[in-house]
Every structure is written in C-alpha cells, then in structure tokens.
Chain A
Amino acid sequence: MTTTTTFEQANSDQKLKEAYFTASQGQLIWARFKSDRTAMIAGFALIFMILLGILAPPLSPYDPSIAGRDKAYENGAPQIPKLWDENGFSFRPFIYGTSRIRSAKTNFRWVITTNRQDRRYVHFFVKGWEYSFLNFSWDFPGETFDVNVKALTFSTHLFGVDKGGVHLFGTDASGKDIFSRTLHAIFTSLAVGTLGVLISFVLALIIGGAAGYFGGRIDSVLQMITDAVRTVPAIPLFMALAAFIPDEWSSEMRFFFISVILGLVGWPTLARRIRTHLLTERHQEYVLAAKLCGASPNHIIRKHLLPSFTSYIIVDLMISFPYAVRSETALSFIGLGLKDPVNSLGSLMQNVSQADVLLNYQWYFIPVIFFIAFVLAFVFVGDGLRDAADPYSDKSK
C-alpha cells in the first residue's frame, strides 16, 4: 500500500502486521505487559525474590533455626564483604574477624569489636549445614500412616568464610543470621500466601462461578452466604483462633492452619469478582450466538466463559497474593500467627518494635524492606497485568 517504503521494509511491516492479526489474546496481553516498564521491572524483582525464597537453603550460609546460631556474634552488626581496605586489594572478598568482650566498663553488655587486621576470606560453594528440599513428616494417628520423607539433600552453600561467621544482615539476639532467616522467611510467606490464595481461589471459583452462571435464586442465596462470611471481622476471628491453637502443634501444623484460615476468610472478595465477570460475559452476544446453535452449558463455559476470564482471574490472583502475605505478616507480627522460631516475615518483625532494637540494632529492619519490596512487586505486576489484560476493547464507531 505505501509505495514510498522499500520492498524489504514493506515485507517486514507485513510480517509484523500478520503477527499482530494472528496473535491470540494471551500473546497480545504479554506484548502489552512487556511494554510497561514498571511492570517488567517489578516482574523481574518478583521473580528474583521468589528464586531467593525457593533457593533459600543453598543461599544461606547458616541454618536459620536455633541450631545455626553464632554464639560469638549475638546482636551483631551486618558484615559487608569488601574488596579493598587500607591493607591492600584482594580479589577475594573478605570481612573482618570479630571478638566480644564484656566488662564493667561496658556496663556488662557484650560489645563486639572488629579486628581490621584479621581478614577472613569469603569462599564460594562451601560445605555447610545440611538441608533437603523435600523434607516432611506427617504424623498421623497410629504408626502405619506416618510419612517421613527426606530427599534431595545437599550441603553446599553459595558462600561462607573459613573462620568465624559471615552475617550479611547481622544477627539477632540469639545469634541467628538474619540474612538466612530473611531468605527462609520469604519462602515461608510465599508458601503460606500460595496455599491461602489457592484455597480461596478454589472456593471462590465454585461459589462465585455457580452464582454468576446460574443467576436467579441460586445467585441470591450464594450472595447472602458470601456477604455473611465477608462481614466476619478478621482480627477478633484470628484472636479467637490463635487462642484455640494448642501449644503442642508443630510449626508446620501451625503454618498449615494459618493458611487454611486465610483461605477461608479471603474467598468472598474473589468470589464476588468471579461472579461479576460471569454475569457480564453471560450476556455477551457471542454467548447468545453459541446458545442459538444449541451449545451445552458445558461448551459455553469451556469455550467462551472460562477463556474470557482467565486473564482477569490471573490478575485477581496476583492482586490477592499480597493481601494474603500481608495478612500473615500482620498476624505473625502481633503474635497471632507464626511465632518465633518459625521464620516468616511477620515473625521476624516481631522483635522490631522494642526500643532497644530501634536504638541499637537497626539491622533488624532489613526484613521489613524485603517485605515492602515483595508486596510492592506483586502489586505492580498485578497492576501491569490488569492494564495489559484490560478491555479487549476494540474501537467501536
């Protein structure tokens, strides 16, 4: 059509156009998402953090539980590896050795001093504490059903030092490495969030789906149930449940329980969204066209309704995730959720509100930064997805 362009350019223009014309909705959404810079940056950050969480064990030089604590370095400040100091350059990053003393002069508080002459070199791919990727045991009543799995066991870690400890984010009051704890906390929060969102999603899909698809009386009844569940106030509910949790429950059981509760409390919002999507889509003309061919409800749901809201649901899930993580964090922070020594971002922040910490051990706040970044990344990605998935709105007259 445009005679002023060269043949090759016209050809490649044509190829681009053809690609655009034959692009499915998924591909178009991805293309739009890619062009949103904020969302892409947030996406990478999110993937990075998720990887950090999943690969927490190999990345952490120390066992985040009490077993890995460094008695000689309690409440220690972060140790940042250096490449260069007044004694010269070194290809291998190093940190300084530390020692601690306590005396009358320091008011009987442990004071840690660094020895700048004592270089401890950081090595990579060192052998450290053992961890396994698949490690769980289910304790069922009776002996026969107990499941004990321990697989994929390794003991290589990304970095470590030859002597003493390397604590990138410092340590807490009992000497546990905050860096390791943070990484494991990301994983825990992710896991709790995922499980919670999954449970809400399944419930929301069934209830919201039925309400939206069938409409009428079924819709009214389900709506009443949804609203009833939604009006239950969350904090008192959690307090009651927290009181109910027996102390002897293992942290895994606690964890599972919290996730289930989050899921059960979070489904109404999602259900309402699904219902709205369905109600709109049901009345689209192309659905009527399918009905006029005698399509069964199954066919309509599968071929028209489900694909239509897959993109929206992915967006909704993305946006619900930070809510689940925030809820767990908030709960753990006020002591109703996961407690020390379990690592979750919330439990890590439990100690943060003491004055002592605020004045002296500011590095306790580092997990807070991670938490904020984590939630923000989800939110930006969710927003980006929503903008990209938004109206398949063609310009009508």
Chain B
Amino acid sequence: MEAIKIKNLKKQYKNFILNIDEMKVPKGYITGFIGPNGSGKTTTIKSIMNMISPDDGEISVFGKNIDEDLSIKERVGFIGDISGFLEESKLKNIKKNISRFYSNWDDNLYNKLINSFSLNETSIYGKLSKGQKKQFDLAIALSIRPKLLIMDEPTANLDPVVRNEFLEILQEQMEKNDLTIFYSTHVTSDLDKCADYIIFIYKGKIILHGEKDNILENHSIIKGKKELLDEETSKYVLSSKVNSFGFTALTSNKSEVYEVFGEEVIYEKPTLEDIMLYYTRRN
C-alpha cells in the first residue's frame, strides 16, 4: 500500500498550474520530492495536508482522506516552512499543548530528542535560531509517533552540521519505527545521502520518479569533443551544454548512448543535482 496516492490533481493559480496525473509515495521509505523553486512542491504538500483546496483530483493518505479520518491525521507529522507555534510561547508550554492532541505521544522520545539537540525547554520559541526551531519542530513531529512524516524544505537555511544531525535522526527513526518520510527539498545533496525514492516535479508536472539508485544508475553524464554532438547524436541525450572545450550532456539511457558514442566520450555518474539541472535545462 502507498502512504500517499495522488490522482489527477489540479490546482490553478494566476501564473502557475499544478497538474499531477499520478503520484505514489511508497510506504516505509524516504521519498525525496525535488524540483527548483516554484515547481509546485509546496502546493502539492499543502494539498496533501488539506491546507489548500485542489480544483480537481483525489488525494489519499494510507488509503483514506486525511481530513475525513482524523485517526490517519493523528499519525501524520508535518514540518513546514512555518510551524505555526506561537512565537511568544515557551517550548515546554508548546509541547504540553500539542501533546494533548495525540494519543500516541511519546514523552521519552521527546525528552531524548530535546536533550540531544541541547534545547532548553524554558526558552521562548520565537527567540530560537532557525536551526533550533527546526530541531524543536522535528522533536514535536517525531514524538507524535507518526507513520508518515511530511516535510516541506525542512533543511533549507540550516548549516551543514545541524542538517546532518537532522538527517541522521530521521534515518534512525525510520529504521526503528517503520516510518514513511516524504520530504521536499531543493538541496538535493541531502537526498543523495538518505532518500530511497525520488519524485521530480517541474513546472507543476512530475517529470521523473522512481528508485533513487535506479535513477542514478540509468542516468549518466557524458563529456566529449563538441564535434561529436550533432543533430543526430543529440537525440540520444536529454540536454547538453557546449563550450569551446567540448560538450557535457545527460542521458537517461546509458547503454543506448554507449552504442552511439562508444569509448570516444567519458561517462560519469551524475548526482541528483546534475539530473535536476539537466532536466530543467531541457525545458
């Protein structure tokens, strides 16, 4: 069963249209939702969380509508760009008030996370640094013992140390508690480390999805002399960049391209960032 299933989701704004024919987030894995800013990541996540009303389409979480079945919503942790916690409140009061809504609240886990992040519970939420706020948000979201954790750009603006710590805790919790994580970001290096699946959205449409290792395996960056890239051979690459030294291009079918270019070009393993850059350049 999929943790999240989306069918024919449509949402139209003045200058942007979200149009997702189908999107599935597999249960028990970390799925990275990538795409440049303004691609529709936040709109999709807000639609899942019922923070906006789609014009059309169906969204189910563990097979049910998240807003109709509150027992499902009780097992969904959400970390957005904005937490909505009162800036003037002390951390201990926020925790006290939020924990009451969740029957599976885990006080031990909360205390463990707060201690490992060295957060002082008497601190005022609004006076925390951005990194500390995200750490607190994560502690709250994990302490509800979610089955699904949805995060919208949680590591944006965090320094590498806090970001790594954040990702390590996520992985640890996923392994221990059969947690599904759906995680939007444009910092693709985070996903290189921890994602199992990737969904790539661009200009409101899903343009690539699948297992991360398969995606990385099937794609290849090729580098060669610019004379090798002509009208005929460029059909075999997704997009390319040519300069006076030669060309670099991305292909999604390594074996086919090998038949065309053979040993005359260099083949390199791409990162998710490379793939994202070449796909967006294509358009």
Q: Do A and B bind each other?
A: no
Tell me the A residues contacting B by CB distance below 8 Å: none
Tell me the B residues contacting A by CB distance below 8 Å: none
